Chain A
Amino acid sequence: MTTLDGLKLGERARIVEISGDDGIAIRLMEMGLIDGEEIELLGFAPLGDPIEFELRGYRLSLRKNEARRVSIEPLPQA
């Protein structure tokens, strides 16, 4: 299974699951990362981390560490 940190620039994916039940997992879900939701990778910070995403019409940045918690199913590019 791929995770969110494996996504490439401009790629879209559908969220499958968020692993764990700690505070970080809860925060990710609160921010709208729910199974079935679509997410797009918009860009990377200069040193490759954090990563900028788009979901639910807003922009969210996550570190690779957090992105690794989100398993995804890549979508064909529009």
Chain B
Amino acid sequence: MAAPVPASSPPPTPAKETRSFNVALIGNPNTGKSTLFNLLCGMQSRVGNFPGVTVEKKIGHVNWQGQQFHIIDLPGTYSLSPRTLDEMVSVDVLLGRQKDVGHPDAVVCIVDASNLERNLYLVSQVLDMQLPVVVVLNMCDVALARGTTIDATELSQRLGVPVVKAEAHRAVGIDDVRNAIAAAAKSSPVEARKKVFPEEFYSECDQLATHLTAGGAADVPEFLIQRMILDPGGCVEAEYTKKCGNNLPQALTECRERLKSAGQAVPAIEARQRYAWIREVLAGIHTRPTTRSVTFSDKLDRLLTHKFIGVGIFIALMFVVFQAIYAWAGPFMEIIESAQGWLADLVALTLAPGPLRSLINDGVIAGVGGVIVFLPQIVFLFLFIAILEDCGYMARAAFLMDRLMTKVGLSGKSFVPLMSSFACAIPGVMATRVIENRRDRMVTILVAPLMSCSARLPVYILLIAAFIPAVTLFQVGPELSIGGFVLWSGQVTLPGVVLLGMSSLGAVIAVPVAWILKKTMFRGETPPFIMELPSYKWPSPRIVFYRVYDRAKAFVMRAGTLIFATTIIVWAAGYFPGDHTAQHKLETQIEALDDTPENEAQLEQLVDRHNAVSAQLIETSFLGRVGHAIEPAVKPLGWDWRIGVGAVASFPAREVIISTLGTIYSMGGDVDEESEGLKESLQQARWPDGRNVYNVPVALSIMVFFALCAQCGATLMVIRRETNSWFWPVFTFVYMTALAYVAALLVYQVGMRYF
């Protein structure tokens, strides 16, 4: 029975079409595809991985004209001839074979107007898929400035699809793009277009389709049949060789032989026919300056890729970037740290000492703060990378460094991700997305955590300050300073040399590791370095902002949640079991006392007792028991159980070692690397037989361990996400830990013979 309708209610609206549309976005690298995606979707994108592959999938959900659109951002590609599984993903999405995405209702092909000839190659392949297509002619301003003219109306006529002019960099023409997409998605199925290839080719396709049907693989999309013939040894051939029962490789070889004798040799036929088609399409409507004028970009390039000047500028630039990251991030990090301290004090004021307060202060606030405190550095690093990427310098950095990197078995494209890893391996691993070759990308990901990240620095500083004598090795020139800021002290000191050695150890070890990985797990021919060098342009603030925001968000969300969870686990392992009544009582007493001179003696006594109780509690906690259990394993490294506990607790995040050591050495967890007390406690620590626990070989062995070990859960999680597999983070963890253990063992055992 229907409920009575109140008279005041609006008249029932006719059933609206609630269907949503899938729109795929595809284009060459460096055409502004991601910029357009961001403009179309704003920040409502969802990032995920396509199953089984390393590429990133971005889907944005938007509402236009009352209808839902899902915009799928496909990885930048020069062509749709899938040779790797990653490239196959784009083909699968366009053909509607990717289950979680659904069939696309329209394809947006974004092309660089200043490089139309090569960009139309991909358009030509997309048109063969018989989907509604919208061509976005991007960077029209750049093209115009270079003297390129295009008759877009005529181009649209000849291509048979809408062509929209845009300048995504300046957000010009976005409404037109949106309208064209909406119209295309709602249009009826497209008619077959004029054929690119000669008739012989299509009759071979028909013959192959018959062969496939006979072999049990019926209804293969026309596009895939073409790809099977055109890409010898490609992905499609491999896929259907498995599915088709009657010797597909032989049929393909015969088919290619027939084409060859007809003067249509594979694979040259495709490029030749498509470029001929492009010439035909562009004839008379596209002019390019006949003589190449020397542009500003050219002049800049002559300097930036110069044998000496270019390398000099490059080194100086990298130096400035890293200096700036430390210098600029400092104040922000202090603000975060003081906010953290203020929050902890607030909690201490409102909550009495007890497990809850300990959990919130030592677990939650310390855990989240430990992550957030690195955010300024990461944001500044991302900012520099985004600016350098957007202005076109990154391609030059890869070009400059390629020869050097190939000696290690990597490519120029690995350079920037590895450089980023010196600040933090998380953005470094994420930056490997620019490497399209899977083998190069995997090796780069696997060695990136070896680069000495900023979280290792506190460990080095503490141990060097405590154990490496501050002797001047030699004097190099006079002191240089600007306004009291010492640029160069003129001295080369032992602590400085050790710090430099520790910071470069990982990078040095990465060379043989990368080489071995290339020779074992990632064997095969060296992938080619075929890269377009885009012209320089001013970075767009909008794009830089989007990139920094995107990556910073990913860092906070993913890294943050993991460190947060592990810190709580470490906290619990250090807190339970054990009776904390006495400890909390002492805390209450300490807090009740005013910090006046007459109370000083009593306060000191209470703090000492509190620290002794805390140390006793941590020794009997789960963490302490683990420490004693692993002592036999760490003893050969010269470590006692306390260092072992510190190292174990630092597996989620290496910074944890400082506070863990502080807690264990009766200082309470509230110390940092500059704490004189912790330094002295380390110097005074004794084995039961009275020997010093710490000496130079022990300090070096700890530092070497921290330099090489994979003590960063967040990095491992990012590796898992970027490789879409649990195998690689486990592999990284195992090989790095083994490497760290062996290296620390060597350092201690060899060191003890000389000290």
Residues of A that sit less than 8 Å from B by CB? 18, 21-32, 34-35, 37, 40, 43, 45-50, 52, 54, 56-63, 65-66, 78
13 additional contacts (CB under 8 A) given A21-B266, A63-B529: A23-B83, A26-B271, A29-B270, A32-B118, A43-B302, A45-B305, A45-B400, A45-B403, A46-B305, A46-B310, A56-B118, A58-B115, A66-B529
Task: Check if B57 is an interface residue, CB within 8 A of chain A.
Answer: no
In the complex, whether B587 has a CB less than 8 A from a CB of chain A is no
Chain B's closest residue to A49 (CB) is: B403
A46 touches B307 (CB 8 A): yes
Residues of A within 8 A of B302 (CB): 43
Instruction: Give chain A residues whose Cβ lies under 8 Å from the Cβ of B272.
Output: 29, 34-35
A65 to B529, CA, bound (A): 9
Q: Give min CB distance, B76 to chain A, whole Å.
A: 14
A-B interface pairs (CB < 8 A), number: 120
**Chain A binder among B166-174, B329-337, B530-538:** B530-538
Give the distance in Å from the alpha carbon of A32 to the alpha carbon of B275 in the complex: 7
- Is there an interface contact between B402 and A65, defined as CB atoms closer than 8 Å? no
Asked if A50 and B266 make an inter-chain contact with CB atoms under 8 angstroms apart, the answer reads no
Question: Is B233 within 8 A of A45, CB to CB?
Answer: no
Q: Are B292 and A46 in contact, CB atoms less than 8 angstroms apart? A: no
Q: Out of A30, A45, A56, which one reaches B81, CB within 8 Å? A: A30
Tell me whether B305 and A52 are in contact (CB under 8 A). Answer: yes
- Choose one: B267, B526, B529, B531; the contact of A26 (CB below 8 Å): B267
Complex contact A30–B271 (CB within 8 A) = yes
Q: Known contacts A31-B78, A49-B402: does B530 contact A62 (CB below 8 Å)?
A: yes
A59 and B535 alpha carbons, distance in the complex (Å): 8
Pick 27 A–B contacts, CB within 8 A, sort by A.
A21-B232, A21-B268, A24-B528, A25-B267, A26-B231, A26-B267, A28-B530, A31-B118, A35-B272, A37-B275, A45-B305, A46-B400, A47-B403, A48-B403, A50-B531, A54-B292, A56-B117, A57-B115, A57-B288, A59-B533, A59-B534, A59-B535, A62-B528, A62-B530, A63-B406, A65-B526, A66-B529
A3 to chain B minimum Cβ distance, whole angstroms, is 15
B639 an interface residue at 8 Å Cβ cutoff? Answer: no
Identify A57's interface contact among B114, B232, B528, CB under 8 A.
Answer: B114
| B404 lies within 8 A of chain A by Cβ | yes
Residue B399 lies at the interface, judged by CB distance under 8 Å to chain A: yes
- Any chain A CB within 8 A of the CB of B540? no
A58 engages B118 (CB within 8 Å): yes
Q: Which residues of A contact B681 (CB under 8 A)?
A: none
For the complex formed, measure the closest distance between the CB of B262 and the CB atoms of chain A, giving whole angstroms: 16
How distant is the Cα of A25 from the Cα of B292 in the complex, in angstroms? 27
Q: How far is the CB of B297 from chain A (nearest CB, A)?
A: 9
B739 in contact (CB, < 8 A): no
**Contact partner of B271 among A29, A43, A61, CB < 8 A?**
A29
| A38 → B minimal CB distance (Å) | 11
Known interface pairs A21-B266, A59-B532, A65-B528; A52-B399 also in contact (CB < 8 Å): yes
CB–CB A45/B399 < 8 A: yes
Known: A21-B232, A49-B403, A58-B118. A27 touches B533 (CB 8 A): no
List which B279-328 residues lie within 8 A (CB) of chain A: 288, 291-292, 301-302, 305-308, 310-311
B683 close to chain A: CB less than 8 A: no
In the assembled complex, B148 has its CB within 8 A of some CB on chain A: yes
Across-interface contacts of B81 in A (CB, < 8 A): 26, 30
A-contacting residues of B (Cβ < 8 Å)?
78-79, 81, 83, 114-115, 117-118, 121, 148, 231-234, 266-268, 270-272, 275, 288, 291-292, 301-302, 305-308, 310-311, 399-400, 402-404, 406, 412, 526, 528-535
Contact A57 B148 (CB under 8 A): yes
Contact status B526-A60, CB under 8 Å: no
A33, chain B: closest CB distance, angstroms: 8
| Alpha-carbon distance A27/B529, docked complex (angstroms) | 10
Nearest 6 Cβ contacts at the A-B interface: A29-B271, A47-B403, A59-B533, A58-B115, A30-B79, A56-B117
With A29-B271, A30-B81, A43-B302 already in contact, the answer to whether A61 and B399 are too (CB < 8 A) is yes
Q: Name the distance in Å between A64's Cβ and chain B's nearest Cβ.
A: 10
Say yes or no: A45 contacts B267, CB within 8 Å. Answer: no
Q: With contacts A18-B268, A43-B302, A58-B118 known, is A50 near B529, CB below 8 A?
A: yes
Tell me the nearest residue of chain B to A59, going by C-beta.
Answer: B533
- Report whether B83 and A60 are in contact in the complex, using a CB–CB cutoff of 8 Å: no
User: With A22-B233, A29-B268, A65-B528 in contact, do A52 and B533 touch (Cβ < 8 Å)?
Assistant: yes
The smallest beta-carbon distance between B613 and chain A, in angstroms, is: 62
How far, in whole Å, are A32 and B404 apart by their CA atoms in the complex?
A: 28
Q: Which residues of B contact A25 (CB under 8 A)?
A: 267
Nearest-neighbour CB distance to chain A for B274, whole angstroms, equals 9
In the complex, what's the smallest C-beta–C-beta distance from A21 to chain B, in angstroms?
Answer: 5
Docked pose: A66 CA to B528 CA in angstroms: 7
Give the distance to chain B from A32, nearest Cβ to Cβ, in Å. Answer: 5
Question: Across the interface, do B399 and A50 meet the contact criterion of CB distance under 8 Å?
Answer: yes
The closest CB in chain A to the CB of B314 belongs to A46
Determine whether the beta carbon of A27 is less than 8 Å from that of B530: yes
> How far does the Cβ of B50 sit from chain A's closest Cβ, in whole Å?
21
Q: How far is the CB of A53 from chain B (nearest CB, A)?
A: 9
Hey, which chain B residues are within 8 Å of A66, CB to CB?
A: 528-530
Q: With A and B bound together, what is the CA distance between A60 and B115 in angstroms?
A: 12
Neighbouring B residues of A57 by C-beta, 8 Å: 114-115, 117, 148, 288
Chain A residue nearest to B122 (CB atoms) is A30
CA distance A22 to B232 in the complex (A): 7
Chain A residues closer than 8 Å to B404, beta-carbon distance:
47
Q: Give the chain A neighbours of B268 by CB distance below 8 A.
A: 18, 21, 29, 34-35
Distance of A11 Cα from B404 Cα, bound (Å):
26
Are A45 and B402 in touch, CB under 8 angstroms? yes
